[in-house]
Structures are given as structure tokens and as C-alpha cells.
Structure 1
Amino acid sequence: MVEKLIKNVISAMQDRLNDEQLLMLENVLAINLHGLEVKEECTQLVTSERHWEKILRMYIACKRLENCAESTLIAYQRCITMLFEGINKKIHEITTNDLRYYLAVYQEQRHISLSYLDTLRHYISSFFTWATDEGYINRDPSRRLKKVKVPRKLMKPYTAEEREHLKDIAKTERDVAIMELLYSTAGRIGEVVAINRGDVDFINREIVIYGQKGKKERKVYLTEGCMYHLKKYLASRKDDNPALFVGERKPYNRLGIKAIQDMLKKLGRSAGVHAHPHKFRRTLLTDAGARGVPLQEIQAYAGHVKPDTTMLYVAVKEESVKSSFMRLLA
């Protein structure tokens, strides 16, 4: 019956898709329907899915309705799946001690940071609280899981000298343009790689980007340096890919997140600087704060929902503190 179902779907889509797309559709159907049984009399897909898997599927569907980013949904699914496979108990049998033991062993075996450990605790608590509220279980075993106390580290932005050094040793105009855009827009790496050439408004020096978190549109602006290097890079392009940043060789595919991360990592090693994409975001937000831009405006520019999140990025420079102290108190 599964083979017949696949055949019927392919046949129905034959006039709408080309051969390559039909083959891809057939492969996707074969993978997703593998292990399922189709009963013709009620036309339902029946599977020996475990009870917790059904609940997790419903939970992910609810989170998707809440407009959670797809990357977040994948992280939730992976975390909860590993939890159940590790504990190997029915959902209503899991206790608080089971959860504590699982997290303790996970941390010991994988040597994860306290910050990531608290992220896992948050994922687990969110799932079990939802399952309790929805009536799948009678009590929430995660309720007594306490938040992990994470020492707050001040994440340093790039210095002006470090940014210039990275641009000086960059191998291509494209790489300089990427660094300028990451700084100017304070964009998340996923937001930046999704930008197309047509998204850039050179007249008003702005771009409307589609936020990864919360999925809201927001305007970001281009510095003169960013405009100069972006125009220079685009003028050198010989391809017709709509993506703003593409590979250096044919077939000139859109540049991905890992490619930019690797590029910055290599430049950072050569420059003796700890370089990664998110650091440009932190640097712009810190510079904006140091130059008197109100926190509320920085929050809007960054696309943060809460001002507390913005405060984690906006580092207060020591010289600014000293200057204010000497001027107002000394």
C-alpha cells in the first residue's frame, strides 16, 4: 500500500514538477513513509510510534504555532529525544531525580558548559510543563529542577584596531564586505546569509532583514564603509545568483553560515584575534551604547524582545566608566 500511495502521488504531480523534482519528491516520500502501514479502509497512517514520540510531535507542532524558529524546534526535538532514549522510561514514570541524574551524567560525559546545561534544563522543563498542562501526565517532574547558576562573563567586542587588521589581511573584497555588513547591520549570521542583492536599498542606505528569532522584519542601516565595499564587491561579480554573498567559484552558490565562520576563523588565526560572526554584532551594539544611542533604540535595532538581552551585548567600556567617575564624582 505504501508503494501504491507513493506511485499515486508521483503520478498526480507529474505535470507540475520536472524529473529532478519528481525524483526528490519520491525519495522524500519513501524516507518519511518507511515503516508506516497504510490501511485502505480508513486511509490512515498507522505506526508503532512510542507514546512519548506522539506527545513530542504534538509539542513541536504547538511550538511551531508559537512562531518558534525552525532551528529552535530542531534543538527541542533533539534534546527531548535524547532524554527519553537515555532514561528509557515511560513518560508518566519519569521522576525529578531521573532528570537530575540524566543532566549530571550528560554534563560529565560531554563536558558541556554550565550555560549549555541550563539551556538543556530549559528545554526539558518547557516540554514537561506543557505535557502537564495539556493533561498528558499528572505531575511535572521538571518543576523542582532549579535554574543553573551561570557565572556571567563579559564578552569582549572587537577593538577598532582588530577590525582594521582583519580587513587588511582579508583575501578578497567579498570577505571585507561581509565583515563590514556584519558590523553595520549587527545582523545574526543566519539573517545575513539570507540577504539577496535586491534587498539592499543603496539610495536610503538600508536593508530590511527578516529576523530569525521571532520572525519579525526590521530595518538595518549601512555605514559609508559598508556601502563602499559592498558596491565594490558587487561590481566584481560575474554571476546572476540573487544572493548577496556567493562562493568564489562556479556554480557561485549562496554562501552558507559555515563558510563565513570558517573564513573568519582563518583570518582570526592569522591576526591573532578571536574572530567569529556574532562578535561583530556585539561590537556594533557596544559602540552604539558608548556613543550615546538610547538602550531602547539599540534594542529595536538588534531585534531583541527584552532589554535584558540587549544589556548582555552592550558592554560598558572601562574608559567610559572612568571618564564619568572623574567628571561627576572625583
Structure 2
Amino acid sequence: MKNEMINDVLNRMVAHLDNHQMLKLKDVLLECFAGVSLEMERDNETSNYILNNTTRVNGFLSSKKVEGCSSKSLDYYKKTIDRMLASVGKDITRITTEDLRNYLAEYHDVRRVSKVTIDNIRRILSSFFSWLEDEELIMKSPVRRIHKVKTDKLVKETYSDEMLEKMRDSCVKSRDLALIDLLASTGMRVGELVKLNKSDINFHERECVVLGKGSKERLVYFDARTKIHLMHYLSERHDKNPALFVALNTPHYRLTIGGVEARLKKIGKSVTEERVYPHKFRRTLATAAIDKGMPIEQVQHLLGHQRIDTTLQYAMVNQVNVKNAHRKYIG
């Protein structure tokens, strides 16, 4: 309790004193409180810190919303932070590095989640406490000394040309064929695909505008086969829904992410035992583009990634090309 009160004083003074003065103040407080026993009403303290924590979390989420984060991301941030606060059971300004290390370790052991999940939680907490530090609500982020979690680098599978052709051949509906072609040739996210309207498609230039993460628009491009199959699908449509892809049954609502995933899963079951899902098309395009010589910066722009490191995670170099390159350059 004594150390927590000292930290409270220091956090309140961080905006008014420089580092040297803060250290001096800490020494003075430790000296003054030496041998002093402090008792407080636990119930009042608990209700106060819960209220304060809620206010600070809401402030952080508001700042992220202004930065352009989607409602889905904001909800994920809130759940992650609230879960940590409920587990640690402290005022945010009193949370230590050790508290967070223990929380992450326990979360990993109890829930048996992957290291990737733990690192995602760490990144969100780092962003939150860095914001608190920038807002001068805490002296220093307790996440600073918690390093990136080392994860296993697994080679992620892509669809082969043969697999893509099998999926195309198994399509009974023109919509499904157009859907597979558009995902395979553009590499767009499934969330971007379901937002598309018919008016977004430029058939002459074989391109369309998608609304990506952070509400950022970008151009993506499709091949001639996709153009033909899209035009055929749209020519069969008689509904007035502006959406590019709609449900097959009346009243032909806009196709949802869940609808796309369910349809691809059904198509996949007819041709393979492996799971077929939308995101794998995106990774397949990135890998094929790099294997054929497209500069990584252009692949980054095509996929709508802010950081090139993210693009490199998607694009797995074809091992056959590595073998051929070794023979060419090494012998």
C-alpha cells in the first residue's frame, strides 16, 4: 500500500517535474514514509480504481477511433484490456511489469493459446500503456521491459494452380465462380470483398476500388478470366441490390463474410480434405507475385499493407524457385 501511494504521488507530478526532480522526489517520499504503516478502506479504493480504469480505457479507445480503427478492432482492444484489468485487479497507475508478465504467463497456461495470441495481447497492452504515458497519466509503461514473444515460423500453405482449377470446376453457380476468381486474382480481404458494389467495378480497366483497414481506399486489379465470369454472373442478376455479391435466395441480401466462408468451405469439401478459406487466396497471390518477380513494394501496395514486414509474412517463396536459383547462381 505504501509503495502504491508513493507511485500515485509520482504519477501526479510527472507533468510538472523533470527526471532528476522525479528521482529526488521519490527518494524523499521513501525516506518520509519509512516505518509508517498505512491502512485504507478497501471497498472505497476498489470502486474508485474501477471507475478510473474505465475512464482511461474509454479515453484510449476514443483516441484509436479518431486514428481510424474499425469498430471490430476497437471491440477487440476493449475486451483484451478489460480482461487484463479484471484479472490484475489494480488501478492502472499501479500495475507493474511483474503483474503483466504473470498475467500473460497464466493466460497462456490456462487457456492454452498460441504464442502468436500472447504476443497480440502484449502489443495491445503496449499500445494502451504507451498512450497512458504519452498522456502523462503514468510515469513509464510497464510493458517496456516485456519483449516481443518469439513465435515459431511455420511455412503457411498456398493454393496450387491445380487446386484453384479444381475449385473452379466444382462451381455450379456463376456467382461462386466469379467470387473465387476475384479473390484469387486481386488478393483482397474477404471483408473488402463483401463491401463491394457493382458500381465499384471498372470492367474496361479491369480494376476496382476497395475500402481496406483504417477506411483507406485502394485500387486492386483482376485478370481477363475474372472479368468474363463477373460479367456473366451480373448478367444473370435481376435483383436491385447494389452489392456485387448477394445471396442466391430471395430477397438476395448482400453476401456476408460468414456467407463467403461457408460457401468456400462447401466448395472445398467437394475437391479436397483440406480446409478452404478466403485468406489463403490472399497469401497465394502474394507468393505468386513475388515468385514471378513483382517488387515487394508493389505487392505491399497491392495488398494494402502499411508495413512491408507484414507483406513478407504473407508471401512464402516457392521452394522450387529457391532450388532453381541455387543451381543458377551457386552451381
TM-score > 0.5 by shorter chain: yes
Normalization by structure 2: what TM-score?
0.81
How far 1:49 sits from its partner (Å)?
7.2
Distance 1:259 1:49 in 2: 40
Q: How many residues align?
A: 282
- Partner AA of 1:288 in structure 2: A
Matched residue SS, 2:208: strand
Aligned to 2:12: none
Matched residue SS, 1:207: strand
Distance 1:149 1:275 in 2: 28
- Partner AA of 2:139 in structure 1: N
Instruction: Provide, for residues 131-183 of structure 1, a one-character-per-residue CA deviation record: whole Å limited to 9, x for no partner.
Output: 12212223422222121101111212100011111122234221111111111
Distance 2:193 2:53 in 1: 37
Matched residue SS, 1:323: helix
- Partner AA of 2:192 in structure 1: E
Aligned to 1:160: 161
Instruction: Provide, for residues 34-85 of structure 1, a one-character-per-residue CA deviation record: whole Å limited to 9, x for no partner.
Output: xxxxxxxxxxxxxx97111110111111112222233222211111111112
Normalization by structure 1: what TM-score?
0.81
Bigger mean CA offset, 119-128 vs 135-144:
135-144
Aligned to 2:43: none
Matches within 5 A, 1:10-25: none
Aligned to 2:67: 66
Aligned to 2:133: 132
Aligned to 1:151: 152
Aligned to 2:3: none
Q: Which consecutive segments of 4 or more residues in structure 1 shift more than 3 A?
A: none
Determine if the alignment matches structure 1 residue 316 to structure 2 residue 317.
yes
Determine if the alignment matches structure 1 residue 253 to structure 2 residue 253.
yes
- Partner AA of 2:173 in structure 1: T
Instruction: Provide, for residues 173-223 of structure 1, a one-character-per-residue CA deviation record: whole Å limited to 9, x for no partner.
Output: 2111111111111101111110000100111111011212x4322111111
Determine if the alignment matches structure 1 residue 233 to structure 2 residue 227.
no
Matched residue SS, 1:304: coil
Aligned to 1:183: 184
- Partner AA of 1:224 in structure 2: A
Distance 1:228 1:109 in 2: 52
Distance 2:259 2:236 in 1: 20
Gaps of 5+ in 2: 1-48
Matched residue SS, 2:254: coil
How far 1:122 sits from its partner (Å)?
0.6
Aligned to 2:109: 108
Determine if the alignment matches structure 1 residue 94 to structure 2 residue 95.
yes
Aligned to 1:26: none
Aligned to 2:118: 117
Bigger mean CA offset, 104-113 vs 179-188:
104-113
Distance 2:80 2:233 in 1: 41
- Partner AA of 2:209 in structure 1: V
How far 1:267 sits from its partner (Å)?
2.2
Gaps of 5+ in 1: 1-47
Instruction: Provide, for residues 210-258 of structure 1, a one-character-per-residue CA deviation record: whole Å limited to 9, x for no partner.
Output: 212x432211111111111111111111211000001111111111111
Determine if the alignment matches structure 1 residue 56 to structure 2 residue 51.
no
Aligned to 2:280: 279
Distance 1:67 1:172 in 2: 37
Contact 2:50 2:91 in 1 (8 A): no
Distance 1:266 1:229 in 2: 20
Contact 2:185 2:223 in 1 (8 A): yes
Bigger CA radius of gyration:
2
Distance 2:204 2:105 in 1: 55
Matches within 5 A, 1:285-296: 285-296=286-297
Distance 2:256 2:243 in 1: 11
Matched residue SS, 2:287: helix
Matched residue SS, 1:50: helix
Determine if the alignment matches structure 1 residue 267 to structure 2 residue 267.
yes
Q: 1:176 to 1:136 in 2, by over 3 A?
A: same
Matched residue SS, 2:215: coil
Distance 1:51 1:290 in 2: 53
